Amino acid sequence: MILAPARRRPKLDQWLAFATVPFFFTLFGIVFVPLSGMMPPRSPSSSPPQIVDFMQSDSLLVACAILTLCFGLAPLSNAVYLIQIKRMSVSPVFRYSLMVGSMSGAIVGMLFPMFCFGLGAFRTGYDPSVLAMLYDFGYLAYIGSLGCFCVMWLAFGLAIILDTNSVLPKWLGYYTVWQYVTELMAAPVWIATSGPFAWNGLMTFWFAMMIYVPWQIIVYVCIHRSIKNQPDDELENA
């Protein structure tokens, strides 16, 4: 491979992709929390009038439009993590597993639930029971989609722990195991309609958020350091 001589910033591809990560997660937070009012989750035992009222709010559609325009940034964020896993001394199975998890995760855990809420708001006149079904489907898919994230955290955590190239700190691997645990703890949302294990419960939602939000920020910082510290002779365009 013959390279052109001028090379000022050899890691520009990684930095460009990395810059979209905070942008995407900030947007993701804005869409789901203040804009749509979906999060923190409303109660599974809301009364039918409350459900109808919420499902018909216009802000759900605005949130839906922004998300559908930008949800492609989730694959890009995941690709940034994948590149660091690729640098580790572990088999490609780890990054391929995470890759597939993120493909299905984007649909079942993000686009589909958002659409359930958007569909409720799109048209007036649907039966309250139809809106209640969309409400349940939306929240259960959003908070109760587990397996594709289990495989992602499993692959990410294990790759960090098994890696001998010290690409990411070992403690981040053990922290990621807790991400896996939060998925297991969210399983009862498919049964409970109130209490700590309902989809708006202390254990399934708030505990998971306490683990997840700092994790996301810490991963961001660690990945930043990891890209920065990658020696130039290791780069694919070296």
Partner 1 sequence: MNTRGQRILLWTAPPAMALFTLAFVLFPVFAPPLSPTMTPEQVAAFFREHHTAILGVVILCNLIAGSLVPLFAVIAVQISRTATSSSVFSYAYIICVGTGTTALILADYCWGVAAFRPDRDPQLISLLNDMAWFFFIAPVGTIVVQNLCFAASIYLDERSQPIFPRWVAHFNVAAALLLAPGAFSVLFKTGPLAWDGSASFTLRIVVLATYLVVMFPVVLRAVNRQGSEQAVLV
Binding site for partner 1 (CB under 8 A): 1-4, 7, 10-14, 16-17, 61-62, 64-73, 75-76, 78-80, 82-83, 86, 95, 99-100, 102-104, 106-107, 111-112, 115, 118-119, 122-123, 125-127, 130, 235-237
Phi, psi values for residue 46, rounded to 5°: -60, 150
Taking the complex as a whole, the smallest distance from the CB of residue 196 to partner 1 amounts, in Å, to 33
Centre a 10 Å sphere on the Cβ of residue 84 and count the other Cβ atoms it contains: 22
**CA atoms lying within 13 Å on the CB side of residue 19:** 5
Given a contact cutoff of 8 angstroms between Cβ atoms, the answer to whether 215 and 176 are in contact is yes
Q: Are 11 and 235 in contact (CB under 8 A)?
A: yes
Of 44 and 118, nearer to partner 1 (C-beta) is: 118
Q: Name the minimum Å distance from CB 64 to partner 1.
A: 5
Minimum distance, C-beta of residue 207 to partner 1, in the bound complex (Å): 29
Nearer to partner 1, 4 or 191 (CB): 4
From the CB of 141, what's the least distance to partner 1, in Å? 12
CA 74 → CA 19, 24, 59, 157, 160, distances in Å? Answer: 12, 7, 22, 19, 21
Q: How far apart are CA 231 and CA 235, in angstroms?
A: 7
CB 232 within 8 A of CB 33: no
Shortest CB 102 distance to partner 1, Å: 5
| CB 203, min distance to partner 1, A | 30
> What is the rounded CA–CA span in Å between residue 32 and residue 159?
30
Distance, CA of 63 to CA of 28 (rounded, Å): 9
Nearer to partner 1, 89 or 194 (CB): 89
